[in-house]
Structure 1
Amino acid sequence: GLTGVAVAAVLGWLLAGFVARPLRRLAGATHRIDTLEQLPPLSGRGSREAEELSEAVTRMLARLEAEHGETSRALATARDFAAVCAHELRTPLTSVRTDLEVLATKTLPEQQRRAVLSDLLLAERQIENTLTDLERLAVGELTDPEVFEPFDLCEILDRATHDAQRRHPQCRVMLADCTTTTMTGLPAGLMLVVTNAVANAVQHGRADTVTVAASGSDAGVEIVIDDDGRGIPDDLRATAFDRFVKGAGSEGSGLGLALVRQQAELHSGTVELDESPLGGVRLRLRIATRPATAGR
């Protein structure tokens, strides 16, 4: 009897040690984790249960590491974005402050007073345009693919060209050709592409005519917007889609084409500028009929 109890106790002690040893190694490795920047390999080799626990903890840490990386990148982007925004808004705000100080401290002839008020209105429009486009850019950055929806491409482009025509009655804006295509994406995003392309052509290119054409298949969609304006200066062409890039004396925010590129990327596509057969600029947008992120 006593011998059996002793043997059982020894076997129990050995078995407990065999089971607990990998758990102690796993616990020790877990305690040594101080940051998610670089995770050590975790091993629970020994009993099957310990190995399963080790694998589960490793998977959990991998998910945490991925989410930590995304959060760090998002914070870095937000800091850079805020710094650039502050820089871009500082100039018109300084101009507003200077003009207000002049109006408050000096008695000006009527003509000079009107000139200062005109400068104030110009700076106000620039600030308003910048803030509006910044809001659109931020909304694009936070777009969840779950909001993508199926829509008729030609119907959206027809609405966009009619809307652009109302905004710019001095310019002829028309949908020249469109292949009937049902696609998945952001209807408002594609309308924004047309809106900004036409606004650039009219305000900066002094275009009299803008045409929109689109073709689509299961492989993808191509939207081409042509104008007969003055084109884009050579020194701006390479950086035209970057944020806050604009020509001298422009009242815009410098975000119009950046928003176009953002929509191209949201729709798993690309956008480029070229010379138009009409004499101005051709904007070519190639996007997926069903973006890679849709439906996830």
Structure 2
Amino acid sequence: MTPYVTPRRRGAAARLRPPRGGAVAALAVLSALLLVAHPWLPGGPASGNPRSLVQTFLPWTGLAVPVLAAAALLRRSRGALAAVLLPALAWGWAYGPALGDGSRGGPADLIVVTHNVDDANPDPAGTARAVAASGAQLIALQELTPPALGAYERELAASHPYHLVRGTVGLWSAFPLRDADATPIVPWRLLLRATADTPKGPVTVYVAHLPSVRLGTAGFATENRDEAARNLAARLREGPGGRTLLVGDFNGTTADSVLAPVMRDFTAAQEEAGAGFGLSWPARFPVARIDQILLRGGLTPVSAWTLPATASDHLPVAASLRY
């Protein structure tokens, strides 16, 4: 026998049920909050550093929009579908311009390439030829090793007769280099600085390779990278002004708050004049742009792009610049 439920009890039960699409709407709001409030997420080793982790992969939050929209349609929830507009608008505001082509017309005065060549690279000679074929006058390399260094020097000698190597970082140039200097940003990583005498005047070039980060059971381990970033910012403040390039593998994206002191005076070529996100790592399926070409002091990016994969686990990144 079916028990009789009074209309009052039936209404109370309906109020206890969660609204249709409530979980979808909650996830949509959370996605939107990540896009706009990520600078206020916890940082540092005590918390596992979710802030840097989210900021490293922040553009990928856009994938939540079609997934949540499909879920809202399946639930036939207008409220959930309306909530999905929040992350859609937030992502479009933050990253919509990157979907277009930001390159500027006109000639360039200088082409720059930076490439983490991978200390386990099985074909350093081929990698050297690939970056030389880009036409860049300045080529910065990271993760150089003594066994492979000779191959890079031989392959780049004709097109880039001037070069400096300090530790695991190096700079090859078609123009004379002077005022070479190398200072540690952590005990085992050096910041290389030199002045390139280009036909249109000197350019100060910094080549950096910040320590790697690791994702493990304790969270996102970035302590060494963060210390190097703080020291790098201090070295840059002490350096000369004028036309300046800062290139290399930062093991972090420009959205990462820890790089804010470094980015304060610099412009990212990819963000100003690139097409798309210019993701550079890992080479087989890039998910983050951790290799950067930054500039200040009268240098304007004309275009920025990634080069085809070499035998490294990073893609080379390039930019053309105008004085």
Q: Give the TM-score of the pair, scaled to structure 2.
A: 0.28
Structure with greater helix percent: 1
Structure with the greater relative contact order (CA < 8 A, sep ≥ 6): 1 or 2? 2
Give the number of the structure whose alpha-carbon radius of gyration is greater: 1
Q: Give the TM-score of the pair, scaled to structure 1.
A: 0.30
Structure with greater strand percent: 2
